Structure 1
């Protein structure tokens, strides 16, 4: 029992270190700590607005929850023999933090502007990036505790829900960043 507690403590400290390091690096990259509108909202529902990706949650928070589902599955498949679940969560936080840093680099911001419908995208606030990591952690924790069928069903439901609501989701985001399809971009911009 003491060993398990020590493992949890180490993983928690590593996660805190990763969060602080991510925030520090994003600030050093020039990312604003909060929305430049000087407010903090729980939810920003307007996709094509200056507030998107600036507050605690937005339509893309669903994608980050699904990241958690996927990272749980990936670490379960590859690392379960060597690492406890809390250490696998730390690995997932490392991956998500790396994505948040890359996502807010000029190369990815420009890619979003040219390859997707996010023409005015300027990157995330530090608050939003940390919240995205938190959403991934929620997804990971959910997947660790719930049946696989329920997790898969919820991922599909979130993908369909965001597709219906904003004509975008994790699947389309990955597609449009990696291999843009003009017909998809045209369909997305018709909203």
Structure 2
């Protein structure tokens, strides 16, 4: 026995971590799925009650980029650790973010500082899928050349910025240090 877990074991532990995050979100009172009673694969309208309630939306691109970033950061600081272990760390951080993002404090911050005036938080389904999109990004970054990962991240940021006037970069800026000029631009004014 080598003392290292197989990828299958890391994936099983990761699935358990994601299930635990879902349980925490349910205990926080988050809706399991959209209250509309349906499950959609894709929601393209950001300013709708369906956004952040279904499997994927424009913000799924940001979660894929999270995976790119987590893979890169963990490669830099923990490359001697197995990729499965680094994946578990990434899942831990992403799950913690999904839980924190769905607290009243952060939901209210989104409403105050961004164009997400009607944002009520994510459904548990959406949060779980956001974590899974991060996992997809992590695995992609682990296999693809760095230059391709960077080009795709830039493309996703530009695409989301163009289509919905929001992306990971703008989201971070507006949560940390909101700028009126960005808020006005995002509102299409």
TM-score of the alignment, normalized to the shorter chain, above 0.5: yes
Equivalent positions of 1:1-191 (< 5 A) are: 3=2, 6-81=5-80, 83-190=81-188
Measure the CA separation in 2 of the matches of 1:61 and 1:137.
11
1:18-37 residue CA offsets vs partner (Å, 9 max, x unmatched): 11110100000000000011
Measure the CA separation in 2 of the matches of 1:97 and 1:38.
25
Q: Give unmatched runs, 5+ long, in structure 1.
A: none
Number of aligned residue pairs: 189
Asked if 2 retains the 8 angstrom alpha-carbon contact of 1:23 and 1:130, the reply is yes
What is the TM-score normalised by the length of structure 1?
Answer: 0.96
Q: Give unmatched runs, 5+ long, in structure 2.
A: none
What is the TM-score normalised by the length of structure 2?
Answer: 0.97
1:148-187 residue CA offsets vs partner (Å, 9 max, x unmatched): 0000000000000001100000000000000000010000
Measure the CA separation in 1 of the matches of 2:3 and 2:120.
42
Measure the CA separation in 2 of the matches of 1:142 and 1:168.
23
| Further displaced range: 153-162 or 5-14 | 5-14
The runs of 4+ residues in structure 1 deviating greater than 6 Å are none
Measure the CA separation in 1 of the matches of 2:5 and 2:67.
24
Measure the CA separation in 2 of the matches of 1:4 and 1:159.
40
Measure the CA separation in 1 of the matches of 2:14 and 2:36.
29
RMSD: 1.3
Measure the CA separation in 2 of the matches of 1:145 and 1:3.
24
Indicate the SS of the match to 2:119.
coil
- How many angstroms does 1:42 deviate by? 0.1
- How many angstroms does 1:4 deviate by? 8.3
